[in-house]
Amino acid sequence: MKKLVVYLGLLVSLISCIWVFQNLDWKALWRALSEVHPFWLLVTVIVFYAGIYVRALRWSLLFPEDKPVSSNHLFKPIMVGFAFNNILPSGRAGEFMRAIYVGKKQKTGVPIAFGTIVTERVFDGVTLIALFIVSMAFIPPIDPGMSVEFGGFVIRGSMLAPLIQKVVVGSSIMICGLGLLMFRKLRIKLLKFLRKIPIPESMHQSIEDGLEGIVRGFQAIKQPRRFLWITFYSVLTWVINAIAAQTLGWGFDGITMTLMQAIALVVIESLAVMIPAAPGYWGIYEAGMIFGFAVLNLHPSREVALAYALVMHLIFFLPTTVLGLWYAGAASLKPPSDKTMESIEHGVMK
């Protein structure tokens, strides 16, 4: 099954690359790349990696009080996680790598470190949903005449507008539902209802494990004050990512991007890279960015949108990969086997 997902990811990346680079004006692409303003490029790099430091601040608050870890010790493992997600077929390998790094280096134990990462992912998911809802309320309406062609399919603005409204409503319900999951009786009733759905037992187990992970993630934060700080840092992390997207836009001629549009673009891009793809999200990252540019009407030129996507992708990919592999080598870390990952995950969900 895992090999099938890997092959599917490679196929998705290949198809995305074909779509991204077909019928392209290469001169216009090169011109857009060569005209990027160096000052705004530097600002974007600084802002983006400041966001990683904020991510380290948040992560430090997720550890139990009897196993404290300073944020100063968490920047390196975050970079290690990014690096291995960038180069290994399994998109989860990086999360296990940073759990192993922290668990051994900071003496927290690997299962505890991985449990904090599960909690982190829960906060990221909820934050992205909330930011998407907020951004949709402030950005201009989607042009009904807008169209994006992908693999023979044409997605029009007239189709997207009602779809986005449904997604906003569904996302709002989902956030309320996550809150209700904290009540044990309601959670038991939900699981009994889901058990009646005729799907394979493995899928039932995956759903139950996922719900249990979400609940444990929130319940691990026992202090209201700490919960609020984690929520604040979660929002700040993604807003900083949006600011980085906005400042890079200022480095291109003709791109006008408000902060709310930048937030919406980051959300669209984050959804795109959730699709199985080759290591480093190549192809799907660029496709998601071009789609986001079209939906948000950020620039009429496909070549400018692609140039922007390539620059942003390299800003994320190169430093994290080089530094992450350097830190992993210095710590004598090796990629975990599938069996090791399963045992860590099972220990957390148990």
**Residue ranges in the chain assigned as alpha helix (H):** 2-21, 26-34, 38-61, 75-87, 93-105, 110-138, 157-180, 184-195, 201-219, 224-250, 259-272, 284-296, 302-330, 338-349
pLDDT in tens, 215-227: 665 655 667 788 8
Q: Are 338 and 60 in contact (CB under 8 A)?
A: no
Which residue is it, tokens 């309601």?
186
- CA-CA-CA-CA dihedral for 56, 57, 61, 65, to nearest 10: 90
pTM, 2 dp: 0.85
**Length of the chain measured in residues:** 350
Average pLDDT value for the chain: 83
How many whole angstroms separate alpha carbon 168 and alpha carbon 267? 13
* Residue 156, strand partner residues: 147
How many whole angstroms separate alpha carbon 21 and alpha carbon 19? 6
pLDDT in tens, the chain (350 residues): 567 777 788 888 888 888 888 888 999 999 999 999 999 999 999 999 999 999 999 999 988 877 888 999 999 999 999 999 998 876 578 888 998 999 888 888 888 888 888 888 888 888 888 888 888 778 777 766 666 666 566 666 666 666 666 766 776 776 666 666 666 677 677 777 777 777 777 776 766 666 666 666 565 566 778 888 999 999 999 999 999 999 999 999 989 899 999 999 999 998 888 888 888 899 999 999 998 998 888 998 999 999 999 999 999 999 999 999 999 999 888 877 767 766 666 655 55
Q: Are 315 and 44 in contact (CB under 8 A)?
A: yes
Which residue is it, tokens 């989902």?
174
Q: Are 98 and 80 in contact (CB under 8 A)?
A: yes
CA distances from 151 to 19, 20, 224, 303 (A): 7, 10, 48, 18
CA distances from 285 to 15, 238, 257, 311 (A): 12, 17, 19, 11
Written as six digits, the tokens of 56 are: 């380290």
Indicate the domain borders of the chain. 2-349
DSSP for 228-290, written as a single string: HHHHHHHHHHHHHHHHHHHHHHHTSTT----HHHHHHHHHHHHHHTTS--SGGGTTHHHHHHH
Q: Largest Cα–Cα distance of the chain, in whole Å?
A: 62
- With CA atoms as reference, report the closest residue to 292 among 164, 171, 166: 164
